[in-house]
Chains A and B, each alone.
Chain A
Amino acid sequence: MMSGAAMVVEALKDAGVSHVFGYPGGAVLDIYDALFAQDSVKHILVRHEQAAAHMADGYARSTGKTGTVLVTSGPGATNTITGIATAYMDSIPMVVLSGQVPSMHIGEDAFQETDMVGCSRPIVKHSFLVKRTVDIPDAIAKAYYIASTGRPGPVVVDLPKDLVNIQEKHLYSYPQSIYMRSYNPTLSGHKKQIKKALEALKNAQRPVLYVGGGAVAANASAKVIALAESLQAPVTCTLMGLGAFPGQHNQSLGMLGMHGTLEANKAMHNADCILALGARFDDRVTNNVAKFCPHATIIHVDIDPASISKTVNAHIPVVGSVEKVLEQLLESLALEGSQADKLADWWQQIEQWRQRNCLRYQQADDKIKPQQVVESVYRHTQGQAFVSSDVGQHQMFAALYYKFARPRQWINSGGLGTMGFGLPAAMGVQVAHPEATSVVITGDGSIQMNIQELSTCLQYNLPIKIISLNNQALGMVRQWQDMIYKGRHSHSYMESMPDFVKLAEAYGHVGIRVDHPDELEAAMEQCFSLKERLVFVDVRVDQNEHVYPMQIKSGAMDDMRLSKMERT
């Protein structure tokens, strides 16, 4: 016999949860009391609930395990909404336990009452409003099952205060296995579709593998590499897929899409066969769908049938886990033998595009270029760090100039584009990987959206390395204003920038400011040598730098600007 509060903690243990990110409040005090009495589930106290959700998210992205959030009712719960939406858009497994006012007061506009199940409904995979104490273990077990299987996503479990009362004891029973008649994701691809896909790949003269976040979620990286090598096909990754195929591999074309490389977008546009693996033909990839890849037979592998033919029609849909389907493809391919030579012409063409060297940029003696900062971070971390980012120009620079070697190394808010994600996400990464280097590449706009978490970092000794590409403006907004609004910089300039060095120091950390290109290497050296400390590097970068390449609006994939002057 145990209380509902104890059941919550016990169920978390049974679900294999090691860390909970949260913030206490009236409706969850009983649960916090139950947390106090044990040490197998560790709690990380944040400074704002939004950050708790992003931390759980970073934890989940970097490990593949489900992240857990615990917050109180009302504002505690609503503060997690942006974090839940971020996880939902990127299919990240997360369970959010939210307190709720006592059952008898639900609907009375009680103090700190919010209909959390209702508020979160459009941005969760599923949610539970628990009605009886004895149902708590079952609801929590199902929440973890749903969050982590099929196409992963966030699940909310709303717990009315009277159900977790520490005085009332009930029988605890955690389900041994979960069966839900209404939920049973398809994992293996249909044999007939596999055969069709194989046929198309074998006949292709100009194939491309287009790899998305689904390949990361399915832990399919090794099989992506195996298939790519077996076919000798070029590979491009989406923003969410970076690392699923090694950035330094000679078959890698880098990222595709709005800020993708010339070779990736050219290869897509000219391909005769595209194998999409856990990617969803997002508008930041396709540009104008009417002009999208006119010559290609599209094979679309996705665990979510609703992602297939949603924006771009798939000629060969394959519903299944990327990992399973690749296994099926590789098995059949092994029987066929190699046929790599026939792609020689295709590779020759790709080499010509590569030679345009679309990522080159002009260095300057007096101004630090954001690209060179990312390249410096890459060198100083031997390309092995976990890199989290916020949203904006710095995110694209990080995605393009840090060549990710492995999946789950690159942590960013791809779908929702959440500024303020980077620092807490990097903290979740550090909690999960205490020995690893956890870097956040951010900007002066984004970092201020969750700056309060510097305090949490001190409390839990999280030695994050914050590299802020400070251009004293909202860079991506400014870039669009330059390009589309004739340089009218409406509210994209920050006139009262704090002294970030002093700010870092006020929170008990190390701050370094870099103004001149000559100082950059020494600053990076110092930053990464301070293994035990959080270091905030405020790098003053060229305000006028734009992110290139960039697709031209309403064009085809390969209609791009390569610099301020140069178009494809």
Chain B
Amino acid sequence: MKRIISVLMENAPGALSRIIGVFSQRGYNVDSLCVAPTNDPSLSRLTIITHGDSKIIEQITKQVNKLIDVLKVADLTEGAHIERELMLIKVATRTEAIRAEVKRNTDIFRARIVDVNAHNYTIEITGTTDKLDAFALTMSQASEIIESSRTGVCGLGRGERALRP
């Protein structure tokens, strides 16, 4: 089962490698990973998408929490939450018809064209992983995907739930 593990940690050198280390040395899966400093620059927030049974997920949260640099760990999938991922996708637009089809689908998905070239468009889209997958599939049917880059999921709990130091 897919899980979203959210981690609040010291924005310190080596902190990220320790977390990645826990996953590799204990054989846990990382499907995606998204990390950046928070509004407090001494802290980083990291979101890991992983999967496993509840026993494994419990061990993941405990083992990550045990790291000295880690302040808080939460499994966002345990409650209501918001998750978003960003994708930049470059698609070929060689004919007028393809350009129109790409533009039309971009509007339908509420994505945005952020760069235009003679032979391609670069489109920005945010949403859940499913939505991004669906958009990529649509684009591959409408035209040819030249390249794409995704950030991995980041997320927050809904309402009062928060990870704070």
A residues in contact (CB < 8 Å) with B: 117-118, 121-122, 125-127, 129, 131, 146, 180-183, 304-306, 309-310
Q: Which of B68-76, B105-113, B125-133 lies at the interface with chain A? A: B68-76
The 4 closest A-B pairs by CB, nearest first: A306-B62, A126-B68, A182-B71, A122-B25
Contact A306 B165 (CB under 8 A): no
Known: A122-B21, A181-B71, A181-B165. A127 touches B14 (CB 8 A): yes
Alpha-carbon distance between A118 and B25 when the two chains are bound, in angstroms: 13
Beta-carbon contacts under 8 Å, B33-91 to A: 55, 58-59, 62-63, 65-71
Within the assembled complex, what's the spacing in Å between the Cα atoms of A304 and B9?
19
Bound CA span A232–B10, Å: 48
- Chain A's closest residue to B72 (CB) is A182
Contact between chains at A309 and B58 (CB < 8 Å): yes
The yes or no answer to B3 lying at the interface (CB within 8 A) is no
**Are B62's CB and A305's CB within 8 A?**
yes
Q: Is A129 touching B13 in the complex (CB atoms < 8 A)?
A: yes
Taking CB atoms, residues of chain A closer than 8 Å to B69 are 126, 182
The answer to whether B59 touches A306 (Cβ under 8 A) is yes
Known: A122-B25, A181-B71, A182-B9. A117 touches B14 (CB 8 A): yes
A129 touches B68 (CB 8 A): no
With a cutoff of 8 Å between Cβ atoms, the chain A residues found around residue B65 in the complex are 305-306
Inter-chain contacts of B103 with A (CB < 8 A): none
Do A121 and B165 form a contact, CB below 8 Å, given A309-B58, A310-B59?
no
A85 to B59, CA, bound (A): 21
22 contacts between A and B (CB under 8 A): A121-B14, A121-B17, A121-B18, A122-B21, A122-B25, A125-B68, A126-B69, A127-B14, A129-B14, A131-B13, A181-B71, A181-B165, A182-B10, A182-B70, A182-B71, A183-B68, A305-B62, A305-B65, A306-B65, A306-B66, A309-B58, A310-B59
Q: Is the CB of A182 within 8 A of B68?
A: yes
A122 and B9 CA atoms in complex are apart in Å by 18
Which chain A residue has the least Cβ–Cβ distance from B59?
A: A310
Least CB distance from A101 to B in Å reads 17
- Shortest beta-carbon distance from B107 to chain A in Å: 46
User: Across the interface, which residues of B come within 8 angstroms of A117, CB to CB?
Assistant: 14
A183 CB contacts on chain B under 8 angstroms = 68
- Residues from chain A with a CB closer than 8 A to the CB of B165 are 181
A125, A183, A309 — most chain B CB neighbours (10 Å)? A183
